[in-house]
Amino acid sequence: MLSDETNECIIIDPGMDSAEEEEQMTDYISEHHLKPVLLVNTHTHIDHILGNSFIASHYKLKLAAHKDSAQFIQRAKGQAQMFGMEMDSTKSIDIFLSEEETLDFGHSSLQILLTPGHADGSLCFYSKKDDFVITGDVLFNQSIGRTDLPTGDYDLLQKSIWEKLFTLPDETTAYPGHGPETEIGFEKIHNPFVAIGKELD
């Protein structure tokens, strides 16, 4: 969830799958007097969209994601059952995001980066003003997204990381979809899954 001084907020990849987790989210939002204005998915793997329907209906929000993410949403119900999770309904994408646009709320404007490789249509969101990037499942703290799921492509993932993320300033804080935050400059040196070793050898 991202908010700014206007108290408007956007909710990115709500993964909660229980009433308790839903309540934690709505409590946080009401306690901080936030006003959710948009639901966003970096990509639409099951663990990133489980809370979509709840959030969209509770706050009457539209869902924004890349058009290539639509294919996964259609498959999500079956996927959820496979993993023993319940998914009552799926929310379809209302607004297609592309690199030509920005992701705007309150006084904030995030640059949209198309970063396929982990999944087609994967997006990262970069704030130049506040020096951070939301990296979804593309780049993690000392790891990278898996490429063995449908539309996964290792070379494409490396290309996305090098061309879209490692071209950001070194001091940019990266917030991944899983695990602790990190910094772009740190990952360039310490991430063992990024092919920088070729240059160091």
Residue 90 beta carbon to Zn ion: minimum distance, rounded to whole angstroms: 16
Neighbours of 45 (CB within 10 A): 25
Least distance to Zn ion, CB of residue 106, Å: 26
Helix (H) or strand (E) holding 190: helix 184-190
Is the CB of residue 123 less than 8 Å from the CB of residue 97? yes
What character string, x for contact with Zn ion (CB under 5 A) and - otherwise, covers 11-50? ----------------------------------x-x---
Alpha helices in 3-69 (DSSP H): 19-31, 46-49, 52-59
* Residues 69-108: x where in contact with Zn ion by CB under 5 A, - otherwise, as a string: ----------------------------------------
- Nearest to residue 159, comparing CAs of 199, 194, 191? 194
Of 4 and 47, the one with the shorter C-beta distance to Zn ion is: 47
Site for Zn ion in 123-152 (CB under 5 A): 137
Of 34 and 194, CB closest to Zn ion: 194
Q: How far is the CB of 100 from Zn ion (least distance, A)?
A: 24
Residue written as tokens 């003003």?
A: 129
- Nearest approach in angstroms of CB 179 to Zn ion is 10
User: Of 52, 59, 74, which Cα lies nearest the Cα of 8?
Assistant: 59
Q: How far is the CB of 15 from Zn ion (least distance, A)?
A: 8
Burial of 78 (0-12, 13-18, 19+ CB in 10 A): exposed
Residue placing its CB nearer to Zn ion in the complex, 137 or 183: 137
CA 106: distance to chain centroid?
Answer: 19
177 counts as binding Zn ion under rule CB under 5 A: yes
Residue number, 11 or 34, with CB nearest to Zn ion: 11
Contact by Cβ (8 Å): 103, 112: yes
- Which C-beta is closer to Zn ion: that of 121 or that of 177? 177
Q: With CB under 5 A, what is the number of residues at the site for Zn ion?
A: 4
Residue among 11, 45, 47 at smallest CA distance from 120: 45
Residue with smaller CB distance to Zn ion, 17 or 47: 47
Binding site for Zn ion (CB under 5 A): 45, 47, 137, 177
